[in-house]
Structure formats: structure tokens, C-alpha cells
Amino acid sequence: MSASPRTPGASAGSQLAIDGGTPVRSTMLPYGRHWISASDVTAVVDALTSDFLTTGPRIAQFETAFATYVGAKHAVAFCNGTAALHAAAHAAGLGPESQVVTTPMTFVATANCARFVGASVTFADVRPDTLTLDPAAVRRAVSGRGGAIITCDYAGEPSDLDELAAIAHDCGAVLIEDACHALGARYRGRTIGSIAPLTVFSLHPVKHVTTGEGGVVTTNDQELAQRLRTFRTHGIEDRRGLAEVTWQYDMVELGYNYRITDFQCALGTAQLAHADAWLTRRRTIAERYQSAFTHLPQIEVPTALADRDHAWHLYVIRLRLDRIQSDRARVFRALRAENVGVNVHYIPVPWHSYYQKLGYRRGEWPVAERAYEQMLSLPIFPAMTDADVDDVIDAVTKVVAYYAS
């Protein structure tokens, strides 16, 4: 392994921090983080000093604001995105007889929601460019006996929704969109959240807007919205307007307590006011990365297709391992040593022990599995300064140049 000449951008010199050199930055930059402003704090304090900590007016206010933001008729808020996925699986009518086709390139919760309701899971491979579900692979995987297709808008790039909706239609399946990465993204002129029968969002602090923990399902279907609400509160039918006049209530099915609190929804509404500006900032950062890295022969930059607007929850590069005298693990450690908090999204879901015990075997999803070996998520979040962005560009350039073959 030979040290390459000093790279122009690498202000801290070319000796890697992992080899004892000076790191590009002195503090660790995370891959994602929330942003809380003074107006957010005021909104939460107002909620905390109001009559309701939970099940008060701020939940409906937030749901209305969220539905308006994505252009959906209904939004139902939950205590986290995983509960929202569970509720979507329930509302779609999934059960032990159902087959769910989903992607291996996502967070485990996307597939787990099928297991929560006892459904069986088939993983279909992803497109090599965007790493979203490959419609041809889904077409081969569906059984034609109902169930669901659960797609993930990986990194914030919308899935092939028209093609997936056509497959779902042909086999009587429900299309559920895990859009936890994709708040504000658009597909062929329509906003994500207004397209699939059920679209799921997370409000975890690394996502586009946060309530601490939280999740939302959007739908244009009144009946699905009702099922989501019932499931959120123990399976007890919605009794808004009746609580003042009667003690009667009826638990019509088995549900959960998946409610979100009023002070969280106060935060959510306040955060939504920043969503457009933050999305613009994410796009600016992504553009700077694209232009800095496109010409580095050791790196493949992410694909953003022309007929959709990427929401850039993640910025995932892939290493061209044939052009690097190293592997992903070493590049990962080298970048962490430079204080750039790279991460990996994701270990293919069927590789996890739980799914291995269910009988899934490695090697069946060559596109996702190959991409996994190459990928690194670089920091991207709206509160990053231009200097932070420069640090990431310098560190990646420095490390990759050092290991270039």
C-alpha cells in the first residue's frame, strides 16, 4: 500500500488519522441529527402547560398539518414509525395467511411489521442504481393470493410506485409504502404520502422532522383511516364527540396503545413549518457531494432519477472495491478516525439472526448484498454548516486517495 500525493482538499495533511495523522476535524460529525429551534421549544412548553398532555387537540392539529403537507386526505399519528407500520399492516388486512413481498435493503421494521401480524415475508431484490425494490423481482416473487407489497423509499428516493401499484393491482395485494426516508419527496409530480393506499413515516430524530419518537400513516381512504385510529387505541372504536355524554365504549377488535402525546404533536407541528427549508438544505448538501465525488474514480455516487425528487434522508456512496486497496470496513474506520461519523444503511434484513433462523439464506439478493459490501452513509442533515460539508468532502477525498490502487 503506497501513500498517494497530498490531496488538494485535505487540509489536515495526507497522513490518515487512523495511522496517527491529524484528523480532518476535531469533533465527531454524526450522520444525521435533529434541529430544535426556539419556536419548537415554545410550542412544547405551551402544550405542557395546557389541559392535555395526551389525547388532546394538538394531535388532530398535527395530523391535519401533516396531511396537508403531503397532500393526503388523512394522517394518523402514532408513538413511533414501527407502530405506524404495524397499524398499516393491520389496516391492510394482513394476517397469518398473507404473503408480504418486501425489500432486503431497509431497516428491519419494514419487514417486521409483516411478522407482527403473522404474515410470511418474501424478500425481492432491488434495482442496482437506486436500491429501491426492482419491480421485475417483485413480479417474480408475488404469489397472486392477496397480501401486500411493502416498499421502502431507500435514502429518500421514491420507489417505482406506478409499476408496483400495477403489480399489486394484478395480484390483489395492498401497496404499503415505507416512506420513513422520504418526507417531502415527489414522484412523477405527486408528493409522497398522497400516492400509495398506505404510506408510513417516522418522526425519529434522524428523520426529516421529529417528535422525539413518533410515526404517521397517511391515506386517502376514510375506512383505512378509521381502522388505523381504532388499532391505535386498544381496538376501541372512535368515540370523538361522545365521551362527554356517555360512559359507553366498545372494543371491537384487538388493538394496542400506540398513541402519541400532545406535547410531541406540538413539536411535530412546529417542526413541519421548517420542513421545506430543511429539505432545500439537504438537497444543497447532496449537490455539493455529487459534484465533489462524481469524478473520484473510487466512488459511485447515489442515483437520483429524473422523474422524481429525492428527499436525501441519507447520502450513500458505494466504494469501487476493485479500485481500492482496502475494504469497506477499513475505509469506515479511517473516516471515523477523521471524525466523520459514517454509517452503513443497511445490513440486508434477511441476514439478521432472526430471519436466518426462519430459513432465509445469504446470496439470494445479489444486488442488495453486493451494494451492502460497498456502501457508506455520509453525514447529511440540515443543521450541517458549509464547513462541516467541506470536512466530509476533504476526509472522503483524503481517505479514498490514500487507499487508491
Ligand X SMILES: *Cc1c(COP(=O)(O)O)cnc(C)c1O
Summarize as ranges the residues that interact with ligand X (CB under 6 A).
Answer: 80-82, 106-107, 109-110, 152, 178, 180-181, 202, 204, 215
Q: Where are the beta strands (DSSP E) in 24-167?
A: 74-78, 99-102, 120-123, 148-152
Q: Which stretches of 27-70 are DSSP H helices? A: 38-48, 57-70
Question: CA separation (Å) from 319 to 122, 132, 405?
Answer: 28, 19, 12
Nearer to ligand X, 197 or 215 (CB): 215
Nearer to ligand X, 29 or 180 (CB): 180
Q: Where are the beta strands (DSSP E) in 103-173?
A: 120-123, 148-152
Nearer to ligand X, 23 or 158 (CB): 158
State in angstroms the smallest separation of the CB of 106 from ligand X.
5
State in angstroms the smallest separation of the CB of 130 from ligand X.
14
Nearer to ligand X, 219 or 298 (CB): 219
State in angstroms the smallest separation of the CB of 359 from ligand X.
23
State in angstroms the smallest separation of the CB of 195 from ligand X.
17
Cβ-closest position to ligand X: 81
DSSP H or E stretch at residue 278: helix 275-293
Nearer to ligand X, 23 or 193 (CB): 193
Question: CA separation (Å) from 239 to 77, 179, 243, 256, 392?
Answer: 17, 30, 6, 16, 52
State in angstroms the smallest separation of the CB of 349 from ligand X.
10
Nearer to ligand X, 23 or 104 (CB): 104
Nearer to ligand X, 72 or 203 (CB): 203
| Edge-first strand listing for the sheet containing 299-300 | 299-300, 315-319, 375-378
CA distance 291 to 289: 5
State in angstroms the smallest separation of the CB of 268 from ligand X.
12
Which SS3 state, helix, strand or coil, does residue 257 take? strand
Check the CA dihedral 174-179-182-184 and report its sign: positive
State in angstroms the smallest separation of the CB of 79 from ligand X.
9
